[in-house]
């Protein structure tokens, strides 16, 4: 767990028009469940940490299937996320989805949600960002924009259901064997369907674990770390 002294209390945001401070709800109070995406990694420490923070957790572990032998690791990763999306689509509240190598900051449960809880068209909200871009700031002071990387993010039931369909599009256009940066397509896919996507001004955790060798093989950076932590 990443230690920070700023994780003790919920931090208010500022109304972008009136400049008044607004208390945002705590993350733990807005999330139905945390789904941990894993393959063969141990998740015991992460589970224990999140449970201590007040979250209910479930591990979504990739299962080897004969018909997927030879598929790109990036494609298999996407399928595992899709399993989590199917569950999130059936939830009553937003779902936090994290990969097994996510390292949350201390007090993550008490952190303010980085999206506007009154927004009925929330799509994806990243808690860990990569190549992030701010498009606009909501009246409650939340940043709307773009990010890639699926290390830690929140989905509403509606946006989770939409992303299930994205997998079918990628399967049709790229196939199972090709390397795809599917995570960089998530924001645009949801935005095209009128969802509004949110990014935090500071990351809620760090990206640990080993890098995916496919990234370097395809000319991308093999390692990424959080720009700014809470």
Can you give the residue range of the structural domain that contains 27? Answer: 5-217
Statement: the pTM of the whole predicted model exceeds 0.75: yes
pLDDT digits (tens, 9 = 90+) for 25-77: 999 999 999 999 999 899 999 999 999 999 999 999 988 888 788 888 899 99
Count of CB atoms within 10 A of residue 50's CB?
24
Within a domain: 173: yes
Q: How many domains does the chain have?
A: 1
Residue identified by tokens 């990424």 is 224
Within a domain: 101: yes
Within a domain: 21: yes
Strand partners, 57: 34
């Amino acid at each position: 767990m990443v230690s920070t002294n700023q994780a003790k209390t919920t931090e208010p945001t500022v109304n972008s028009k009136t400049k008044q401070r607004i208390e945002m709800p705590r993350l733990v109070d807005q999330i139905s469940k945390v789904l941990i995406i894993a393959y063969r990694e141990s998740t015991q420490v992460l589970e224990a940490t999140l449970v201590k923070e007040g979250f209910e957790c479930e591990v979504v572990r990739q299962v080897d299937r004969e018909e997927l032998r030879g598929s790109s690791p990036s494609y298999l990763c996407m399928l595992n996320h899709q399993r989590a999306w199917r569950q999130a689509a059936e939830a009553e509240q937003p779902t936090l989805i994290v990969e097994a190598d996510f390292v949350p900051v201390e007090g993550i449960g008490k952190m303010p949600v980085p999206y506007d809880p009154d927004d009925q068209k929330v799509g994806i909200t990243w808690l860990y960002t990569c190549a992030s871009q701010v498009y606009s700031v909501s009246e409650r002071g939340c940043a709307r924009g773009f990010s890639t990387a699926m290390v830690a993010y929140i989905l509403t039931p509606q946006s989770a259901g939409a992303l299930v369909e994205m997998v079918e599009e990628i399967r049709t256009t790229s196939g199972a064997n090709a390397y795809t940066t599917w995570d960089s397509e998530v924001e645009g896919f949801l935005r095209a369907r009128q969802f509004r996507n949110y990014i935090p001004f500071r990351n809620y955790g760090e990206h640990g674990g080993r890098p995916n060798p496919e990234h370097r093989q395809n000319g991308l950076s093999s390692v990424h770390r959080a720009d700014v932590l809470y």
